[in-house]
Structure 1
Amino acid sequence: MITMDDIIKDGHPTLRKVAEEVSLPPSKEDQEILKSLLEYVINSQDEEIAKKYGLRPGIGLAAPQINVSKRMIAVHVHDKKGKLYSYALFNPKIISHSVEKAYLTSGEGCLSVDEPIPGYVPRYARITVKGYDVDGNEVKLRLKGLPAIVFQHEIDHLNGIMFYDHINKEDPFRPIENACPIER
């Protein structure tokens, strides 16, 4: 089981690397890693388990955050209507996106970043993601709102990009043009 001890912190070189594609069909080892990523985000949202193991709550986790430089992510998040998006994917790619942008009014956080970094993080409002599930089956998702933002955050990790790289350094809370604010 992944705990906070397994999650590497900002400044670790793996977080800035472009992660490698996972060869398909996936190996048993890669399947276990992918399952453990999803298990962490689910466990971290369970108050009892999180307290028992000292887990920081998260809604997404990427393999580079546990020092595995491979293209794997897990997301476990509800949209504003309460629909659950719970996915563990190999080689996720954004295959299309809206022109319109979106951002979380509360800003973004990251399990690999201990201190809060305030500011708006511009993201695409809608995206289509293609990836492969734990058994190597193709999955295609059309996402908007919070789930779209979480997937973009996690896919950025696979490309060595941190959420704060997107924040305007001079004016972190400058309104983002043509963007819809999303409350979390």
Structure 2
Amino acid sequence: MITMNDIIREGHPTLRKIAEKVDFPLSEDIKQLANELLQFLINSQDPEIAEEYELRAGVGIAAPQVNVSSQLLAVYLSSADEESDEPEFSRIMINPRIVSHSVQQTCLPDGEGCLSVDREIEGFVPRHKRITVEYVDLDGEKHKERLRGLPAIVVQHEIDHLNGVMFYDRIDPENPLALPDGIDVLGSGE
């Protein structure tokens, strides 16, 4: 089971590397890591498990964050409907890449956080409002998927990790709390 002790923090060189493409057929190690990354997110969003193991809640995690420089990420967004056991969005993506995106940008109203960053960093993080991402799943199936809203933001954040980019690299250093012209704040008009 992955815990916070397995997650490397900012300043670690792996977080600034461009991750290696994953080869197919998948090794058992990669399959196991992918499932453990997704399970970490599920555990981190469960209040009892998170408290017992001192997990910070996360909605996305990339392999470089556990010191594995491979193009692999997991995203888990629980359902807003408390009656539903089905997540709003749950994916394991291998070798993901954004093949197209909207010109229009969006951002989260409270900025972004990261499991590899232990400090609060204020500022808006501009992201594409809509993206089309291509990736391969654990069964070796290729997917091309259009995302918008929170799933699009989270996937962009995690793909950044695969390219050695931290979320705060995208914050305007001169004026972190100024909204760029024409940007939509998620939740204000979605």
Same fold by TM-score, threshold 0.5 exceeded? yes
Q: Who is 1:61 aligned against?
A: 61
Q: Who is 2:44 aligned against?
A: 44
Please, what is the CA RMSD of the aligned residues? Answer: 1.7
Distance across 2 between alignment mates of 1:151 and 1:25: 24
Q: Who is 1:92 aligned against?
A: 96
Q: Who is 1:125 aligned against?
A: 129
For the residue of structure 1 that corresponds to 2:58, the secondary structure is coil
Cα gap change, 1:113 to 1:34, in 2 (>3 Å): same
TM-score by length of 2: 0.93
C-alpha deviation, 1:79, in angstroms:
7.7
C-alpha deviation, 1:139, in angstroms:
2.0
Q: Report runs of 4+ in structure 1 exceeding 3 Å deviation.
A: 78-83
1:91-170 superposed matches below 5 A = 91-170=95-174
Look up the equivalent residue of 1:42 and give its one-letter code.
I
For the residue of structure 1 that corresponds to 2:93, the secondary structure is strand
- Select between 77-86 and 43-52 the one with higher mean Cα deviation: 77-86
Q: Who is 2:179 aligned against?
A: 175
Aligned residues with identical type, % of pairs = 53
Distance across 1 between alignment mates of 2:123 and 2:81: 26
Structure 2 unaligned residues grouped into runs of 5+: none
Count of residue pairs the alignment pairs up: 184
Cα gap change, 1:4 to 1:151, in 2 (>3 Å): same
TM-score by length of 1: 0.96
